[in-house]
Amino acid sequence: MFKGIITHIALSNSGDFANSFVLSGYSPTYLLEDGVQRRTFQKQGLQEIFNEVLKPYPRNLVSFQSPKPQHQPPVKYVVQYGESNYTFLSRLADSYGEWFYYDGESIRLGKPTDSQALPFTVIGTEGFSMAVELRPTKFKMGRYDYLAHKPYQGTSESQSLGKLNPFAAFALQKSDALFSQPSQFQADRHIRDQGQLDTAIKEWKANQVSGLVSFYGNGENTGFGVGKVIEVQGVSPTGKHDYGKYRLVEVSHTVQADQYQNTFTALPEAAEYPAPNPTCSPRPACPSWPR
């Protein structure tokens, strides 16, 4: 099921003079692109900030579900400057390594809770491809607390992750062996102690590892949707082969006459955090005055 908003209607006329209407539109998240805002939020949790930003929108169109963001401490201070509400919320979720997506019915913040796996058997018109990629994953991260005059530093190697998909664990091991020189980053959030920096490092590392394995497929199950889990099996003359569980992060549905098909992208189900989503962050301005 997908609930969307029609934003464009066109009349099409073919060579046989048969008229038809072409409808196009977006998910309800399109309403969050209604203009740019300038405001600040202080000492509020992620869920509180999201609720405040989404409050003006009608709930029958913009339904918001947030079971439990993984980042629970209040955000000391964050600015929405010249950004649409959707751009701001996307950046905020990405800064704290949170899942933020539209599942076809509701906007969701936090790791998907739907753990019941849908079967995906590679047979007939259904198929898949899987990619394992090596990337630089070692890094150092720091932040200076200008109020307490204290620098905080840490490394990715100091933070261990939970249970990983076997392919992700393999890719991480080989990536660390191949790329020996760590990158250097500054934490993109306010840090007040070493524990907060360690959390930021762990979240960033988990984000990077989530992007090392990608699963692509096509099928005919109309129940597939973003956030859902699929269990992949292959069939051969010797029996069934288990390829593991994956969480859908992108699904495209196609209907022609009475034929249905979907294509999708997924990440290993064990991934605690989503793959990195490139976003632009505000930076302090350095005005240059004419001389």
* DSSP assignment string, the chain: ----EEEEEEEEE-TT--EEEEEEEE-GGGGGGS-EEEEEEEEE-HHHHHHHHHTTS-TTTS-EE-S--S--SPEEEEEEEEEEHHHHHHHHHHHTT--EEE-SS-EEESS----PEEEEEE-TT-EEEEEE------EEEEEEETTTTEEEEEEGGG---S---HHHHHHHHHHHHH--SPEEEE-SS---SHHHHHHHHHHHHHHHHHTSEEEEEEE--TT--TT-EEEEEEEETTEEEEEEEEEEEEEEEEEETTEEEEEEEEEETT-SSPPP---------------
DSSP 3-state of 55: coil
Distance of CA 131 to the CA centre of its chain: 18
Tokens of 264: 């999708």
How many Cβ atoms from other residues are within 10 Å of residue 120's Cβ?
Answer: 25
Tokens of 274: 């989503």
Query: How is the chain split among helix, strand and coil, in percent rounded to 5?
Result: 20, 40, 40
Residue 183 β-bridge partners: 139
pLDDT per residue of the chain (291 residues) written in tens, 0 to 9: 678 899 999 988 877 767 888 889 999 999 999 999 999 999 999 999 999 999 999 988 898 887 678 888 899 899 999 999 999 999 999 988 899 999 888 999 998 887 789 999 888 788 999 999 999 999 999 999 888 899 999 999 999 988 888 999 999 999 999 999 999 999 988 888 999 999 999 999 998 999 999 999 999 998 999 999 999 988 877 878 888 899 999 999 998 888 899 999 999 998 888 887 766 666 655 656 555
Gap between the Cα atoms of 143 and 232, Å rounded: 42
Residue 101 β-bridge partners: 108
